[in-house]
Chains A and B, each alone.
Chain A
Amino acid sequence: MSAPCYDPFPMSDLYQRAVASLLEEERESLTVLETWLPDRLPENLRSESHLLGDRPWGDPAELAKFLRCCSREHAKVETDEERRTGYQGSCTSFEGKGLPIERDRLPDRLLRYSRSDTVTRALIKKALGRQAKGSLNRELISIDEALAGLSTFSWDPRRMGEEDRLGRGKMVFATFEHPAGAPRDSAQGMAEALALPRGPLKDEFLLEFSYPTDSVTNHRFPTVAEAGWVPEFQPALEVRPDPARPDTCWGQTRPRGSSTPQPELVHGNASLRVLDRPPRFLGRFNS
């Protein structure tokens, strides 16, 4: 899979038509919002082309609804904090509205890279018992030592509960194996390839979850709504999905450094029961 070429900040046709459908006061408010948004967020918003809901390719109605929601939230509050909360709230309301990805265009397995301590501890508790989580909490053992106790032979996903989820939100991000490859044995390498945001945390770990594509539902293109306040996200290029060009059939990450872009999609959150093999510990990375 060759990496698609991106213009620096191409404004999508869908965005322009969505803006054109707004009332004048909504457009003005949107302009104020975009001037206020930091980093790449305004560029990402303007290049969004896959926030379609269940409408056909090129229909701007859903994106217009999203922009209207963002601009109204922005206009009705006064402080920066309230504005940020308003934007993130609008994003949350429009999660899972990306263009659906046809199942036959995806491989049979998906991968998900998680740095969630909480999900990992819940998983360890269910797989190895309450003492295991207690030992982790008290730092008597490390996460990698605990995970070493999970073998493929003894792994039983039925121990996971319905309340033990892959992630926190309604939708979660995923990727998959692809011909261009990925540094799957390096936490640092994967964090850069997936463009995980840099933050004030050091020495985080990364875990790989692997599960059948059919065990989760609602596969969709990721959009600015799922990305929320994270500028490292890159909206998919405005090209109608074409099976002859696989890179148009899902999103792509905007990797840091010289890493290869990785395929990116979202799907409905699901129970950890979908993990038909134990998670793999990649190691630690500095964000």
Chain B
Amino acid sequence: MSEPFRPSLRKDGTFDPDCLEQAGQRWVTAWLKERLSGHDPCFPIDKRGDEDPESLIVAILQDAGTVHPATNLIGGGILDLLDEARKRAPQVPPYLESALQICERVRLPRTSTWFTEELRRLAMDPQAVEESWGPDLTEEILYGAILQSPGFPRAASHESWRAILTMPRYATMAWMGLASSFDTSLGYMEDWWQVCPAPERQAEINQFVFTNLKTEGRQQVRELLRRHSRSWPDALKAAVDSALKKNGINEGLRAKRRIYESAIADAAIAA
């Protein structure tokens, strides 16, 4: 990093994303590589309070927004680092985990193809991918792919995500990767339930219900659950009921179904 460029701050002390346009791609990539490896001459990283090297980059990207030139430059820099890491695998360069953390949290369109390629590799040959990255890093790559290469029905990554949904270790990640909304999540829920290791299921459903009650609202969650759950196995319904109860909703799917069935039976007797 021999260029004389120095990033500038705004009057309020925050990083000014505009300044990166003057820096150019080469400087940005070199800065990212150094910073994400734990060294930053421009903005020292605080070890005492556990500052994450990536937190400044996430803040810059969130501030700049997707279409800002700084996002394009940072995205290009991250892509260069991911490509380099792939060449060096199974050796793990010091910047890789921080680079992936950024990709997990902020949309970087330039990295999309890299994640799509990794999804395809994992779908076709999971053993080779795990030998390259190890299972923990593979999981972090999948978290990145959820944001950078989501499995919309017409997306290039869709079939790969479908294949990954059949892999017990990664089934929950694939469920998140395929689901663009609560409604679509429910469409994959039974497939996920059949594959996810049993000890992990309830915690995942608890969190799924908690998050969607918050984002979708009670009425929508209950309505969509009722619509999708008709063919679900009883154990899955019981798990959803338990999650609803944990979140303060006592009338679960099975209770509704029992009321509905008994009403049908009553009507039949009356007839």
Contacts and interface: CB of A to CB of B under 8 A. Distances in A.
Q: Answer yes or no: do A and B interact.
A: yes
Interface of A: 79-81, 84-85, 88, 113-119, 121, 128-135, 137-138, 140-141, 145, 149, 163, 167-169, 172-173, 191, 194-202, 204, 206, 226-230, 232-233
Given A115-B51, A118-B54, 9 more contacts: A115-B55, A117-B55, A118-B101, A140-B215, A168-B47, A194-B49, A198-B13, A199-B51, A200-B15
A271 to B, nearest CB: 14
A173 B47 CA distance: 8
B41 A134 contact: no
B39 interface: yes
- State the 5 A-B residue pairs at the shortest beta-carbon distance, nearest first: A229-B44, A116-B50, A129-B203, A131-B207, A196-B49
Contact of B46 (A80, A140, A230): A230
A137 B104 contact: yes
A201 B62 CA distance: 12
B254 to A, nearest CB: 22
B56 A226 contact: no
B2 interface: yes
A131 B175 CA distance: 9
Contacts of A169: 47
B203 A230 contact: no
Contacts of A114: 49-50
A202 B14 contact: yes
B93 interface: no
A133 B41 contact: no
Contacts of A129: 172, 200, 203-204, 206-207
Contact of A137 (B39, B54, B143, B203): B143
Contacts of B204: 129-131
Interface in B208-237: 208, 210-211, 214-215
A228 B39 CA distance: 10
Nearest to B30: A81
A119 B173 contact: no
A189 B125 CA distance: 51
Contacts of A130: 139, 172-173, 176, 200, 204
B147 interface: yes
A117 B52 contact: yes
Contacts of B206: 128-129
A226 B147 contact: no
Given A113-B49, A173-B47, A196-B46, A133 B143 contact: yes
Contacts of B211: 131, 135, 140-141
Interface string B153-173: 000000000000000000011
A149 B246 CA distance: 11
Contacts of A138: 146-147
Contacts of A172: 50
B38 A168 contact: yes
Nearest to A231: B44
A131 B176 contact: yes
A128 B203 contact: yes
Nearest to B97: A118
Given A81-B2, A129-B203, A140-B214, A134 B176 contact: yes
Q: A79, A113, A131, A137: which has the most chain B beta carbons within 10 Å? A: A131
Nearest to A136: B105
Contacts of A145: 214
A85 B173 CA distance: 38
A105 B146 CA distance: 49
B130 to A, nearest CB: 15
B255 interface: no
Q: B49, B147, B172: which has the most chain A beta carbons within 10 Å? A: B49
A233 B50 contact: no
B1 interface: yes
7 contacts: A114-B49, A137-B105, A149-B210, A198-B13, A199-B56, A229-B44, A230-B48
Q: A145, A194, A200: which has the most chain B beta carbons within 10 Å? A: A200
Contacts of B215: 140
Interface in B99-120: 101, 104-105
A198 B12 CA distance: 12
A200 B49 contact: no
Interface string B25-68: 00000000010001101011111111110111011000000000
B56 A228 contact: no
B266 interface: no
Given A88-B39, A140-B215, A230-B48, A200 B1 contact: no
